């Protein structure tokens, strides 16, 4: 009888020693894809950035892999971005990504200038169905680099991409008198 009790105690001790003492985390955090970070990657010469097609695919993968944990209140959005809701104004995501990518790749050496209230410069005319427009909100000369405008486009895409389309307007920190529009070609 003592041998049976000792054998049972030995088996229980072996099972208890083999059991893990803490649970290992089994979930990994999926971070949403940010177009603005992608623009920063294009600008950074030390980083190999995704192509526009890869960026759009990464965006869709992150959207499909994340779930909303919003329990009420308001979502955090950039205060300086307003999104378009009309499908006639919103551009398709792929051409918009190509536009933003091409501007970011031009670098800070490429500048655009214009002068006067409500005057503008329209970019990405060579890409069908999308345009990025910079408009002055006040009189006087305005100057913006291609990278600054690309960053604005990335912020618009972060806040305003859904349903395969994107578009809106942004006021950027480099010059709040300049409005950046990313939209379907009109």
Residues 6 or more apart in contact with residue 87 via CB below 8 angstroms: 165
In a domain, 38, yes or no: yes
Residue 172 has, within 13 A of its CA and on its CB side, a CA count of: 24
Question: Is there a domain that residue 69 lies in?
Answer: no
pLDDT in tens, 22-76: 455 555 566 789 999 999 999 999 999 999 999 999 999 988 876 554 443 334 4
Residue 8 lies in a domain: no
* pLDDT tens-digit map of 18-33: 544 445 555 556 678 9
Predicted TM-score of the model (pTM)? 0.76
Is there a domain that residue 45 lies in? yes
Tell me if 88 is assigned to some domain.
yes
Asked if residue 17 is part of any domain, the answer here is no
Length, in residues, of the chain = 186
- The reply to whether 6 falls in a domain is no
Residue 123 sits in which domain range? 33-60+79-183
Q: Is residue 7 part of a domain?
A: no
Domain count, the chain: 1
């Amino acid at each position: 009888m003592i041998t049976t009790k000792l054998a049972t105690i030995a088996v229980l001790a072996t099972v208890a020693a083999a059991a893990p003492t803490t649970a290992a985390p089994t979930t990994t955090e999926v971070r949403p894809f940010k177009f603005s970070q992608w623009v920063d990657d294009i600008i950074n010469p030390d980083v190999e950035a995704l192509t526009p097609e890869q960026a759009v695919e990464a965006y869709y993968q992150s959207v499909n892999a994340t779930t909303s944990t919003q329990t009420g209140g308001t979502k955090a959005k950039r205060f300086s971005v307003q999104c378009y809701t009309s499908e006639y104004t919103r551009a398709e995501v792929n051409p918009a990504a190509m536009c933003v990518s091409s501007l970011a790749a031009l670098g800070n050496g490429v500048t655009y200038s214009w002068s006067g209230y409500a005057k503008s410069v329209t970019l990405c005319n060579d890409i069908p169905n999308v345009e990025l427009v910079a408009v002055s909100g006040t009189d006087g000369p305005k100057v913006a680099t291609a990278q600054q405008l690309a960053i604005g486009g990335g912020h618009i895409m972060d806040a305003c991409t859904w349903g395969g389309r994107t578009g809106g307007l942004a006021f950027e920190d480099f010059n709040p008198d300049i409005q950046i529009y990313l939209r379907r070609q009109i």
